[in-house]
Amino acid sequence: MKTVSKTDKFNMSLEEVDGKQFIHCTVYNWSKTTKKQIAKEVNKLINKYEILYVLRNVENNERPSERFLEMYGFNYYKTIECLDGVDRPIWIKESK
């Protein structure tokens, strides 16, 4: 996994799986500034890779993470069964 951005507000990394770029983002302190910084990083990545994927964490069944993904232009793609037997939804963002 490659770190894309690490601040005291959030950590973003990128992981390539089967030729697909999966983005991971952990937010520590949410604010308007954090929202803008994350958008900037996502836009840089989408310009470079054209397609980004997110494997959404379902263990805690958080609806906010879906709103977070939608806010940054990700759309539900499909649900897959992972190696641990848990079904997890994949979200996708494509360049325009």
Looking at residue 88, what is its pLDDT? 87
Looking at residue 86, what is its pLDDT? 85
Looking at residue 48, what is its pLDDT? 95
Looking at residue 59, what is its pLDDT? 65
Q: Which long-range contacts (CB under 8 A, 24 or more apart) does 67-74 make?
A: 68/27, 71/35, 72/38, 72/39, 72/42, 73/42
Q: Give me the residues of the chain with pLDDT under 50, please.
A: none
The count of residues in the chain is 96
CA pair distance 65, 20, nearest whole angstrom: 21
Looking at residue 61, what is its pLDDT? 60
Domain boundaries, the chain: 2-94
Looking at residue 55, what is its pLDDT? 87
Check if CATH label 3.40.630.30 holds for domain 2-94. Answer: yes
